[in-house]
Amino acid sequence: MDEYGEKELAEEFYRKALAIDNSNGRTHYNLGNAILGTGKIKDAVDQVNQAIQADEKDSVAVNEYKLLLKKIVN
């Protein structure tokens, strides 16, 4: 399986996990990274933002959010 297919499969699994527990910030963060791998930066930003909403102290998610916003602006 190529990398693109793996990212789409990961996206599918993370979405299923969020259907069970939508409040899991780490799962939103991981979904954002999977989505980013498919090139959908704005969708990735939305997921990382949801990760921050779930856990404002998640410094990894906060830093990733800042980096993604820079990609959108540039």
- CATH code (residue 17): 1.25.40.10
Name the residue range of residue 23's domain: 3-73
Q: What is the pLDDT at residue 7?
A: 86
**Contact of 61 with 31, CB cutoff 8 Å:** no
Q: What's the pLDDT tens digit per position in 10-56?
A: 999 999 999 999 999 999 999 998 998 888 988 998 999 998 999 88
Report the amino acid identity of residue 70: K
What pTM was estimated for this model as a whole? Answer: 0.82
Q: What is the DSSP string of 11-46?
A: HHHHHHHHHH-TT-HHHHHHHHHHHHTTT-HHHHHH
Identity of the amino acid at 2: D
Tokens at residue 32, please?
Answer: 């954002």
Structural domains of the chain, count: 1
